[in-house]
Amino acid sequence: MEYLRSIKEIQPEDCYQTGGSRPVKVFCNDWNEYICKYYTGKGFASGLFNEYLAASFLKLWKLAVPDFSFVQVQRDHLNQVKFPFHYFKTPCYGSLFNHDYKEIDKFFLGYSFHDEQLLKLVPQFLKIGLFDIWLSNEDRNFNNMNLMLDVESINFIPIDHVQVFNSNCLDKEPVQITEDESILTSPLMSKNFLRTLQQNCENLRTTSIIEFSRDLSLCHENLDKILQNVPPEWGVDSLFIQSRLSYYFSKEWQERSLSTFFTYIQYALNRKP
């Protein structure tokens, strides 16, 4: 993992107000801008860790997450914004900013794709839905999509994974996300992707089982390396994380996740647009 540093002041317009945090856009010494989340000093930096872990896993799943780095913000680059410097003493989690990203929201229901684009987007959408089920991400649904579209490459970009593990409860036993907490049963599915799904659902079960098993194996195989890259300032206990993640890699959780995934797909197929 690359460590970057800020090279110019953060301006008020570079601060984003979201439902759970106020990330900032930082211009770094690689001459790129990054959307950065920071550590407020309460407990270990679980939110930053969740973002980093989820993004690392999503890359192994071959989903189009932005490149990411650890970013150190300089004290004198906070002069124009009202943030205490102690938020930035530890490295931030930085996600590469891209002007081609368009936010997916309820207005997106009327967006029209041609068939070639849908053949690419529908598998991505389903895979993101399965990923959320696997990591118990309760924070991507129709009211809060946490999803972007790269209008240049036509790829879905999943963002914001602070609330994986049942809203950041890795210390507790995981539970499956509900129907309302999944994008798979959202109107976005029925209005934009259902026809393509119906036409190609014959091989969905077999393909999903094979790819899910492969992707979980890749995540498990790379877990040690991923954890080794975590900034020590985040205060992450790697042994605790490995212990708590063991169930997410178990055959039982894999089967439960696939069962929930196929159930929600069936809900969508049975629901009229």
pLDDT at 219 over 70: yes
Q: Residue 135 above 90 pLDDT?
A: yes
Quickly tell me which residue has 């696997």 as its tokens: 134
**What's the CATH number where 240 sits?**
1.10.1070
| Pair (133, 236) in one structural domain | yes
Confidence of residue 251 (pLDDT cuts 50, 70, 90): very high
Question: Is pLDDT above 70 for 100?
Answer: yes
**30 and 111, same domain (yes or no):** no
**Where among 49, 70, 96 does a domain terminate?**
96
This prediction has a pTM of 0.95
Mean pLDDT of the chain: 92
Per-residue pLDDT for 273 more than 70? no
Pick from 51-60, 138-147, 232-241, 246-255: least confident: 138-147
At 140, give phi and psi (nearest 5°): -135, 105
Range in 66-70, 115-119, 195-199, 240-244 with the lowest mean pLDDT: 195-199
86 and 110 share one domain: no
Predicted pLDDT of residue 41: 83
- The percent of residues in the chain predicted with pLDDT above 90, rounded, is 75
Same domain (yes/no): 112, 80: no
pLDDT at 272: 60
pLDDT of res. 136: 98
Integer Cα distance of 161 and 167 in angstroms: 9
Q: Which of 50, 75, 96 is the last residue of a domain?
A: 96
Q: Which of 238, 104, 245 is nearest to 170 (CA)?
A: 245
Average pLDDT over residues 244-258: 97
- Integer angstrom CA distances of residue 151 from 117, 126, 272: 11, 19, 28
144 shares its domain with 187: yes
Radius of gyration (C-alpha) of the chain in whole angstroms:
19
Task: Please give the average per-residue pLDDT across 249-264, as a whole number.
Answer: 96
| Cβ-based neighbour number of residue 135 at 10 Å | 24
Can you tell me the distance from the alpha carbon of 111 to that of 145, in angstroms, rounded to the nearest whole number?
15
CA distances from 249 to 86, 134, 242 (A): 36, 9, 10
Please indicate whether residue 273 or residue 268 has the higher confidence score (pLDDT): 268
Give the model's pLDDT for residue 198. 81
Q: Using the predicted structure, report yes or no on whether residue 200 has a pLDDT greater than 80.
A: no
Is the domain of 120 the same as that of 35?
no
The whole-angstrom separation of Cα 122 and Cα 124 is 5
Distance between CA atoms of residues 95 and 35, nearest Å: 5
pLDDT at 96 over 90: yes
Q: What is the mean pLDDT of residues 107-133?
A: 89
Q: State mean pLDDT over 225-233.
A: 96
> For the residues of 155-171, what is the DSSP string, one character each?
EEEE---TTHHHHH-TT
**Cα end-to-end span (Å), the chain:** 44
User: What's residue 172's pLDDT?
Assistant: 93
CB atoms within 10 A of CB 143: 11
Give the pLDDT score at 106: 75
pLDDT surpasses 70 at 20: no
Is residue 79 located within the same domain as residue 110? no
Q: Average of pLDDT values for 169-192?
A: 91
Residues 89 and 114 in one domain: no
Its domain, for residue 55, covers 3-96
Domain count, the chain: 2
Position 268 pLDDT exceeds 90: no
* pLDDT given for residue 15 in this prediction: 93
Looking at 96, 118, 140, the residue that finishes a domain is 96
